[in-house]
Structure 1
């Protein structure tokens, strides 16, 4: 998709936060998207990845070496800051409370996952409404589909990785089936969309 078409999808839209979900193949997908964002990126980027507990603590180190954004693990009762990439901690669900701060919980897994993408996306949709951008990437289960539907219902911008390009297409296909997203894009266009969003500040 060309820049003009991507810019049209952003036209008139105020953005306060970006939330990204991914499972199998997600680390590689994020490495293609996020290095293009500058340190002064004007929104927080909240990311939920399904990874082994032993790998979770390595995500901050891995991405801090590759991106200009600050990279942190989300901390309970802390408000997300612009220009920061947050990862959901291992074995905790990550929510956004009405007050706009993170909340961690040990509720049962959703779609066999904790953290669950759906929980983060659904609570973020409640807080940010039409000012939220939701992005769902490669994955092997249905987690994230309901979350993306909630973002769309709240008026947020929904973006799904093209299943034909995804390492595992199950997750994006389910999101598309449940509620048609605003955009279905390859990774290069998702990266460009986020870059163009900085030019769209209201």
Structure 2
């Protein structure tokens, strides 16, 4: 049987409780030559400042930016949703912000990002669900999977809060369940080699 290769155009990450530790384990590991843009929803208090952007811009080899409305997606850039705004990917691969109602009690909502990104990138999207204490991201992960994308879930045994990864594992046919300390290296290999199946 021939091995097929799939390459990807973007990564979306959803994370909630325990996110600072989890993202600190992953984002600084990305190789300098990684070209995939990364869009992140981290649940945070509605009046949080831009601490996450400043913190990770200092730690990472890549530019880290807080999303502004109508911002184009650029390769090798890490984007964070601002507090109290949903983050969406438009069909033309620009990023938009919305103050529509909370989804899963959250704004920004992981589902909103994942579902819009799935529609924009179809089978060329990687979705990653990390630690979190609710089920946000489950519907979005299902949408990514339905359109042919790749789903990676943090092994709940390595998560500060297990509910979010466990919900996705329960309801979605995930591709990989990985310990936290291996996800960064996996993404580097994916960026360099694509994905064999």
Shorter-chain TM range is over 0.9
Residue equivalent to 2:155: 162
Of 52, 76, 91, which aligns to 1:83? 76
TM-score using structure 1 length: 0.91
Segments of 4+ in structure 1 off by > 6 A? none
- What is the root-mean-square deviation in Å for CA atoms of aligned residues? 1.5
Change (3 A) 1:139 1:79: same
1:23 equivalenced with 2:10 (yes/no)? no
Q: How does 1:12-161 map to 2 (within 5 A)?
A: 12-161=5-154
C-alpha distance in 2, partners of 1:159/1:179?
Answer: 11
Pairs aligned (count): 193
- Deviations along 1:161-191, one digit per CA (max 9) or x if unpaired, are 0111100000001011111211111112211
Unaligned runs of 5+ in 1: 1-7
Unaligned runs of 5+ in 2: none
C-alpha distance in 1, partners of 2:31/2:143?
Answer: 29
C-alpha distance in 1, partners of 2:17/2:72?
Answer: 28
- Deviations along 1:19-41, one digit per CA (max 9) or x if unpaired, are 00000001110100111113331
TM-score using structure 2 length: 0.94
Higher strand fraction: Structure 1 or Structure 2? Answer: 2
